[in-house]
Amino acid sequence: MALPPADRPGASASVRANPVTVVIVDDSAVQRRFVRTVVESDPGLMLVGEARNGRDGVAMVERLRPHVVLMDLHLPVMNGIEAIERIMAVRPTPILVYSAFVDGDDRDNATAALAAGAVDVMEKPGVAGVGKLDEDAEALRRRLRLVGRVKVITHPRARLGGAGATLSTRRLGPVVGRAALAGGAEPSAVPASVDGLKARKARVLAIGASTGGPQALATLLAELPSGLDTAVVVVQHMADGFIEGLATWLDGICALPVSVGASGRRLQPGTVTIAPSGLNFVVHRELRVTTEEPPRSQYHVPGIDVTFASVAEAVGGDAVGVLLTGMGRDGAVGLKRMRDRGAFTIAQDEATCAVYGMPAAAMAVGAVDRQLALADIGPALRKLILTPVRLEDEVIS
């Protein structure tokens, strides 16, 4: 595998002096060796510990306090999900799940790991040629550098059903059945931050999220009751193959039905449609949707900008746009297009974001009507699209 040397000339003195420290937790000696080679090839990364089981991994994170943990899910002694829960309860650290997702159960487990507090998921490289391994190595380096900058919060195990569960019994993390939510989540108190919001017609609620998005989506969507007159479309940046598991998990904790979108169908009121992985998701008039191959230059797929811009063209001001936590700038331009066409737009605030990248970019280009804490976005949406619209409130300046 042709990896660049650790002392390559392009590295800045700052990067060399302040590398992202990494702990890997994996029982595979082959995978640990691969990761060691990848990390040591990058002066911006430093491997500070290797653990072979979940219990040792938790202890190592507490002792070494790395910037990022690379965590397999199938581990001896303590499985990966329990290890993630323990780390997020006692030493919150950005965790990148790194596992061989070979079947549906494994992909469901990856979703459970996100629910437990992991920041992102990534599939281990399989049997491939040198060129593919080089691509996998560069993708891993890039992801470690990004995840190492993520802000995380304590995620108590008590909220996740307690420790000691196995992968097979904990696949989908905390689930509140739809029967319990048939009338919608118990409305939270209306915060002062939503004062002044006026009810409006909204055919579409468009939501974009990236790093830290699954937890944010669970919080937001749980605030929306069944019987909603608005169609909800969600674009979440996630590696290929994991959107289906995310939809299944969200479907179990929200009052609204959640499914993955398909080309040629229509968005339905009172339904959450998640953009499929690997393709851009475009909304047309009459809320018909299509999927499109992204250009080679597009980094994030599916693209939030693409979906937001299409919603702006399809329904104009009869929409609400929400941009949640995430790395990069995707969604900012599309949210600005929505606002320019009369939609009401919301961005998650810095204090509650795992990564204040996309919302910050949206603020910078004037795309945001209201910036709110994550806990306040649900109440704001209830006030905007669930309150009966009076004639004089139909247009918001």
Joined tokens for residue 38: 């990848």
The C-alpha torsion from 209 through 212 and 218 to 223, rounded to 10°, is -70
Q: Is 330 labeled as catalytic in the residue annotation? A: yes
Q: Is 74 labeled as catalytic in the residue annotation? A: no
Residue 308: alpha-carbon gap to chain centroid? 17
Joined tokens for residue 13: 């003195």
Residues in the chain: 397
Catalytic residue (choose from 41, 237, 277, 349): 237
Joined tokens for residue 46: 């430093």
Q: Is 67 labeled as catalytic in the residue annotation? A: no
Q: In terms of Cα–Cα distance, which of 81, 23, 25, 74 is closest to 52?
A: 25
The C-alpha torsion from 62 through 96 and 154 to 273, rounded to 10°, is -170
Catalytic residue (choose from 56, 72, 251, 330): 330
Catalytic residue (choose from 41, 99, 210, 277): 210
CA distances from 47 to 37, 38, 261 (A): 10, 10, 40
β-bridge pairing 204-209 and 120-123: unpaired
Q: In terms of Cα–Cα distance, which of 222, 241, 142 is closest to 178?
A: 222
Q: Which amino acid is at 316?
A: G
Q: Is 227 within 8 Å of 154 (Cβ atoms)?
A: no
* d(C-alpha 156, C-alpha 216), whole Å: 16
Q: Is 334 within 8 Å of 304 (Cβ atoms)?
A: yes
- The single residue listed with the structure tokens 């943990």 is 69
Catalytic residues: 210, 237, 330
